[in-house]
Amino acid sequence: MSEEFSLVTEASVANWQHSTDIVVVGLGCAGAAAAIEATNVGGQVIVLERASSGGGTSALSGGVIYLGGGTPLQKACGFEDSPDEMYKYMVASCGDKADPERIRAYCDGSVEHYRWFLDQDVPFKPVFYPHYSGEPPNEDGLVFSGSENAHPFNQLAIPAPRGHVPQTEGQAGGLLMRKLIGAVKASHAEIQTDTRVEHLIASSDGRIIGVMARCAGETHTIRASRGVILSAGGFINNKAMLQTHAPLLRKCKFRVGAEGDDGSGIRLGTAAGALAIGLEMGSISLPIIPPKSVLRGIMVNAQGQRFINEDVYYGRLGEYALYRADGRAFLILDERTFVRPEVPREVVAVGETIEELERELGLPRGSLEATLTLYNQHAQKSEDPVFNKASEYVTPLLHPPFGALDCTTENSLYAVFTLGGLKTNVHGQALNADDVPIPGLYAAGRTSASLAAPGYSSGISIGDATFFARRAASHALNS
């Protein structure tokens, strides 16, 4: 069969050009973590990266790592946390398809995993950034990067900030990857760039024993005696796969992903019999902050109704806006609360009365008025019994002119990447449809299904990518 990425059998391999313990496919944060972990305990590693240099989507990201359970950074910033509270939050927030067993392992190992980043010389400034949830604009090291403080999660788990951010101004993914790739280069791992893995190779008994990779017009066979780790990203840049599996995500304007996020890692895995799950899911961020004070507005849908407490993390806000409101959302503010968000959002309508604003927005007659009347009635007492927005953001919207910021998918920024991928267990082993590990095959990062499914908090991707990649490397060498 000539299917792209199809599995090749050992019998058809004439000779092996290279041999190693572990082949790592893709040098984003997961691939780097796997290589570092394996070489640390003496394993031989070849890392294959199709781009001219490593980094992948990780290097383009904010660099936030979701960690907790009482890390030294949390303690230095004066926050208490425990693996149990972290677990409660993640299980509650990570969506219907999240795997509690993997979440448990992740929370229990989180403090150790933080120390591992320190070992890789990743710096964290022990200062908490208090101004909003998300990626801090300065060098501060700790931030809320989820909905921990928002209803209902603040009722289910003691909130703690868990966004651990490498110390640099602005987007920290570049620094993070410089440090991790530096550690790989300092190890005895071999990195081959400009090399594209085209096929996995299986032994006659079904074990994955190597890869066929193309570099400079030639095909190479590389034997991996301990296993192959697929860490080649997601598929946000594969239009056909998006259309087939997650067409709604195509509505989002800003795709977060390196060119390599074309699903090739997932395809290599499924061609080898691994099960892909949750391919319909994405992380969908609708940033309306900073500044945080914009949360005093109310978000309404095409029926003029609120649909969420506006102070949830912008990842959750985006999911609700896309999945439940069809990407038709407007943020309503009055004269006293109006503020222009830093992420550009157009003022799409202004009215001297709510009725006028409603008409300008094309909302059903009386709908926005009814919503605001109810909201204001409770807001007089700083309460929001309908959606339970935190009282600090609840204030009556009474003072004209009223304005609406455009938060529709058509006209505003929704940042999206895929969360679905190969199903893995706590050891990072890729599982088949019977939930049985495929010998020799591992997956990590967005080639594997995320811990969040969807229910995203920032830092989960780099977090689960590095955490389970390390486990994969360790399992491959020790099993």
Q: Which of 377, 391, 411, 478 binds its own copies (CB under 8 A)?
A: 377
- Helix then strand then coil, in percent of the chain rounded to 5, is 30, 20, 45
* Paired residues of 402 in beta bridges: 351
Tell me which stretch binds its own copies (CB under 8 A): 191-199, 385-393, 409-417, 463-471: 385-393
Tell me which stretch binds its own copies (CB under 8 A): 125-133, 187-195, 285-293, 364-372: 364-372
Alpha carbon distances (Å) from 202 to 13, 124, 179, 222, 263: 10, 42, 34, 12, 20
Give Cβ neighbours of residue 232 (< 8 Å, ≥ 6 apart).
25, 26, 28, 31, 50, 197, 260, 264, 265, 268, 445, 447
Is residue 245 involved in binding its own copies (CB under 8 A)? yes
Is residue 1 involved in binding its own copies (CB under 8 A)? yes
How far is Cα 348 from Cα 334, in angstroms, rounded to an integer? 14
Q: Which of 40, 305, 355, 356 binds its own copies (CB under 8 A)?
A: 305
How far is Cα 407 from Cα 324, in angstroms, rounded to an integer? 14
Is residue 248 involved in binding its own copies (CB under 8 A)? yes
Beta strands in 269-312 (DSSP E): 276-277, 282-285, 298-300
How far is Cα 52 from Cα 287, in angstroms, rounded to an integer? 32
Give Cβ neighbours of residue 244 (< 8 Å, ≥ 6 apart).
none
Is residue 296 involved in binding its own copies (CB under 8 A)? no
- Are the C-beta atoms of residues 249 and 319 closer than 8 Å to each other? no
Give the interface size with its own copies as a residue count (CB under 8 A). Answer: 47
Q: What SS3 class is residue 245?
A: helix
Nearest approach, Cβ of residue 276 and its own copies (Å):
9
How far is Cα 162 from Cα 134, in angstroms, rounded to an integer? 11
* Paired residues of 223 in beta bridges: 19, 210
Is residue 278 involved in binding its own copies (CB under 8 A)? yes
Task: At 72, give phi and psi (nearest 5°).
Answer: -55, -35
User: What track of x and - describes contact with its own copies for positions 424 through 463 (by CB under 8 A)?
Assistant: --------xxxxx---------------------------
Tell me which stretch binds its own copies (CB under 8 A): 4-12, 146-154, 161-169, 177-185: 4-12
Give the residue with the Cβ less far from its own copies, 75 or 365. Answer: 365
Q: Which of 219, 244, 353, 479 binds its own copies (CB under 8 A)?
A: 244
Nearest approach, Cβ of residue 180 and its own copies (Å):
31
Give the residue with the Cβ less far from its own copies, 27 or 308. Answer: 308
Length of the chain: 479
Give the residue with the Cβ less far from its own copies, 71 or 371. Answer: 371
What radius of gyration do the chain's Cα atoms show? 23
Is residue 96 involved in binding its own copies (CB under 8 A)? yes
Q: Which of 72, 152, 247, 344 binds its own copies (CB under 8 A)?
A: 247
The residues that touch its own copies, with contacts defined as CB under 8 A, are 1, 3-6, 96-97, 205-206, 240, 244-245, 247-248, 267, 270-271, 273, 275, 277-278, 280, 303-306, 323-324, 364-367, 370-371, 373-374, 377-378, 385-387, 423, 432-436
